[in-house]
Chains A and B, each alone.
Chain A
Amino acid sequence: MNRSAARRLRSRFMVGLMGLAVVLAVLPLLLILGTLIAKGAGSLNLAFFTNVPVPAGETGGGVLHAIIGTLMIVGVACLIGLPLGIGAGIYCAEYPASRLTFATRFVSDVLNGTPSIVVGVFAWTWIVASQKHFSAFAGSVALAILMVPMVTRTTEEMIKLVPHSLREAALALGYSRWRTSLSVVVRTTLPGIVTGSLLAVARVAGETAPLLFTALGSQYLSFNLDQPMAALPLVVFNYAIGPYEEWHQLAWATALVLILVVLVLSAAARLATRRKFTQNG
């Protein structure tokens, strides 16, 4: 009896310890969000969103140039990365027995963990070095390379959830294979694919390392993809390591904007998937 009581006590103790781990794990998130709001929210006003930077040392100035820059760089990255990623994902789901499927799936998983700075070096060697100037487009290519493996894997996972009977029904009705794929299978799983794409966008929108020596950053409002361009993460980085107190203020405010964009995108994406899963049973 005594021994079993000790065993039960030990079990309770270990479970309690793991509950403590949960508290410790959630704490950083609360701390980070709390500091961001405390230090950043005060600087957020209309001018912050509609102005470009002022010379160092002066107060004021905004991040319009970086908001536009992030939109353009990430937008072009989507144009390159999403079709490739979604296409590769559909291939993996449609031809599961193919050897290429195995290779694509495995390489995607491996590339998913690639340090993004390495992709930046690659884009620099491939595009910046040969063009001999920094460009926002090189940044887009780097981000697209980061998106492809993520989108490939989520697309495949989503398509796999479509019941086989649906596909068989379409084929039995005389649909050709490609029409079955596109207008039945892909169509059914479209919300899932959108979710996966949103998650990928959320992730690359916050990436700094691949842009450091491709898009480079800029103090001016620019719409030219062939030239250096600002982006929100680059602004956070440059202002954070700069010497001026005003810059640190701007860094906090910009980080708050950046994290709102990223968290809203990824939270929305995750919630959408969750609902989809429960609907499917």
Chain B
Amino acid sequence: MTAPDATPIRALGGARFGDRLFKALLTVAALAVPVLLGFLIWELWVGSRLAIDAFGFGFFTSSDWDPVEGLFGALPLIFGTVVSSALALLIAVPLSLGVAIFLTEFAPMRIRGPIAFVIELLAAIPSVVYGLWGIFVLIPFLRATIFPFLRDALGFLPFFQGPIYGPSMLSAAVILAIMVMPYIMSVSREVLLAVPNTQREAALALGATRWEALTGAVLPYARSGIIGAVILGLGRALGETMAVTMVIGNRHEIAASLFAPGYTMAAAIANEFTEAVENLHLAALSYVALTLFVVTVLINAGARLLIWRVARGGGGRGA
């Protein structure tokens, strides 16, 4: 850095040395973050070379997963990841948007803070605790009540047919929904708080009801930010590991029925990495990790750009 105030005063020499040292140390720390991203991708790439050379892009379209034969394909994992996350969003998005809107627009002032606080505590519960609760409380409940109900009511659809196991794609989706809800809620709440009050007041002054003011003046303003919040939630759901691996059943299969066990990319890594003995098996799992990483990085980057567009002011806020 060239110092514009380069007046050579001896007494300031020490101060200037201190400044330079200070900045150098901070720069090292700040540089570490982007460097870390590059290093992560590099190490994962090196770790998966064996599998990339062996399978290339065919890895993503093959359903074989046979460590003995040395055949690996990630299609069932990708399918399971996408389906469980999409279902989770289907449940979580209406709920969390409802909560965020209620808390910023309609709730009495006094209860806004405490409720937001309580829901954000959900985000602090460790994933493995969700998993434990999922195995022993949620799954028995779903198997006894919700799943039979769905099969009776919607059994004509292929998604709700077949035997009801406890661990299943749908169980994973429900637990994922509970887990991503606080993220979507807190980010969309921040976005809604960033909408200028004049938007609401103008609509109300024109005679709109509070609901009409919301849909007509507030939501359009916040739209891209809310989409960002949802995408951020999607990123969380895609990478969630422990809770999912404990309730999804962990089977390398693509099944139409949501009652059937499935597998996700993150769950496969968690389950098989320590057991893998063949180098190719390890490389295949690393390839899965690399794919998951690149996908979540792209998704998060997109979400951040959308959120920054709304909550510009301070150059974006942490979730």
Contacts of B314 in A (CB 8 A): 157, 160
Q: Are A116 and B46 in contact (CB under 8 A)?
A: no
Q: Are B239 and A113 in contact (CB under 8 A)?
A: yes
Q: A104-B33, A263-B124 are in contact. Are A18 and B98 (CB under 8 A)?
A: yes
* Contact with A113, one of B26, B232, B269 (Cβ below 8 angstroms): B232
* Contact with B301, one of A84, A110, A145, A150 (Cβ below 8 angstroms): A110
Contacts of B270 in A (CB 8 A): 117, 209, 212
Q: Are A202 and B124 in contact (CB under 8 A)?
A: yes
Q: A21-B102, A125-B43, A179-B18 are in contact. Are A111 and B28 (CB under 8 A)?
A: no
B260 at the interface (CB under 8 A from A): no
* Contact with A115, one of B16, B137, B296 (Cβ below 8 angstroms): B296
* Contact with A212, one of B125, B274, B293 (Cβ below 8 angstroms): B274
Q: Are A115 and B132 in contact (CB under 8 A)?
A: no
Q: A32-B125, A262-B126 are in contact. Are A115 and B293 (CB under 8 A)?
A: yes
Give Cα A88 to B25, complex, Å: 9
Q: Are A22 and B318 in contact (CB under 8 A)?
A: no
Q: Are B125 and A259 in contact (CB under 8 A)?
A: yes
A192 CB to closest chain B CB, in angstroms?
12
Q: Are B318 and A25 in contact (CB under 8 A)?
A: no
B4 at the interface (CB under 8 A from A): no
Give Cα A271 to B94, complex, Å: 28
A71 CB to closest chain B CB, in angstroms?
16
A7 at the interface (CB under 8 A from B): yes
Partner-binding segment picked from A43-51, A58-66, A162-170, A233-241: A233-241
Q: Are B292 and A118 in contact (CB under 8 A)?
A: yes
B84 at the interface (CB under 8 A from A): no
A87 at the interface (CB under 8 A from B): yes
A203 at the interface (CB under 8 A from B): yes
Instruction: Say whether chain B's binding surface is mostly helix, strand, loop, or mixed.
Output: helix
A227 at the interface (CB under 8 A from B): no
* Contact with B266, one of A32, A101, A117, A153 (Cβ below 8 angstroms): A117
Give Cα A24 to B21, complex, Å: 53
Contacts of B129 in A (CB 8 A): 32, 36, 206, 236, 255, 258-259
Tally of chain B residues near chain A (CB < 8 A): 95
* Contact with A248, one of B44, B136, B185, B316 (Cβ below 8 angstroms): B136
Q: Are B37 and A107 in contact (CB under 8 A)?
A: yes
- Bits for B117-132, please: 1 = Cβ < 8 Å to A, else 0: 1111110111111111
Give Cα A248 to B140, complex, Å: 15
Q: Are A103 and B34 in contact (CB under 8 A)?
A: yes
Q: A22-B115, A118-B293, A122-B40 are in contact. Are A91 and B122 (CB under 8 A)?
A: no
B182 CB to closest chain A CB, in angstroms?
8
Q: Are B98 and A22 in contact (CB under 8 A)?
A: yes
Give Cα A212 to B127, complex, Å: 13
Contacts of A21 in B (CB 8 A): 94-96, 98-99, 102
* 20 chain-A/chain-B pairs, Cβ below 8 angstroms: A10-B209, A18-B101, A21-B98, A22-B102, A29-B125, A32-B133, A35-B133, A86-B29, A95-B26, A96-B315, A109-B316, A110-B300, A111-B37, A117-B239, A118-B293, A129-B47, A160-B314, A176-B18, A206-B125, A209-B270
Closest 9 pairs between A and B when the two form their complex, measured CB to CB = A115-B239, A206-B126, A87-B29, A21-B98, A178-B22, A176-B15, A11-B211, A11-B209, A153-B318
19 more CB-based (< 8 A) A-B contacts, given A84-B29, A114-B40: A21-B95, A24-B95, A88-B32, A94-B26, A100-B34, A104-B33, A115-B266, A116-B241, A118-B293, A177-B15, A178-B15, A178-B18, A178-B19, A182-B22, A205-B126, A206-B129, A240-B132, A251-B132, A262-B126
